[in-house]
Amino acid sequence: MNYSKKIIDHFKNPRNYGKIKKPSAVGQVGNKVCGDVMKIYLKIENDIIKDIKFETLGCLVAIANTSLLTTLVKGKTIKQALKIKKEDLVKKFGKIPSIKIHCSFLAVEALKKAIENYYEKSTNSHVRRNR
């Protein structure tokens, strides 16, 4: 298959994979039945993503995309991270077979879910504190 050098590189040498021990937030999307599951761990301090790690069960595109996304997000503010669109990843990687595009969307969705999880957690802790 004719994937770009960049996508192959991220597949062969995935960046930031694994778990974060005490994450500020976790996001998971997909399910085993459809074949792709992505999990993103975030360590957030002062609204800045200090660390990000991922775990992916999926195809080449799914793995490479989550890896690429983590490199784009690390060190950025939450606001900046939320600005990353699904299409941005596709652009960065060049051509992806159209049937595989949904696999690349999952990475962005997992990140959004992790950030949502972060907000939920912090709201909850505010509520707890205010009580």
Token duo for residue 96: 């992806």
Interacting residue with another protein among 2, 5, 22, 33 (CB under 8 A): 33
DSSP-based three-state secondary structure for 123:
helix
Pick between residue 13 and residue 124 the one whose CB is nearest to another protein. 13
Interacting residue with another protein among 4, 48, 51, 57 (CB under 8 A): 57
Adjacent-strand bridge partners of 77: 48
Is 34 catalytic? The answer is: yes
**What is the four-CA torsion angle of 111, 29, 54, 33, rounded to 10 degrees?**
-160
**What gap in Å lies between CA 80 and CA 115, rounded to an integer?**
12
Q: Which residues, at least 6 apart from 89, have a Cβ–Cβ distance to it below 8 Å?
A: 65, 68, 69, 104, 107, 108
The catalytic position among 103, 106, 107, 114 is 103
Least separation in angstroms between CB 67 and another protein: 9
Interacting residue with another protein among 4, 48, 55, 121 (CB under 8 A): 55
**What gap in Å lies between CA 79 and CA 118, rounded to an integer?**
13
Least separation in angstroms between CB 51 and another protein: 17
Binding site for another protein (CB under 8 A): 1, 8, 11-12, 14, 17-18, 28, 32-39, 55-60, 62-63, 99
**Catalytic (active-site) positions:** 34, 103
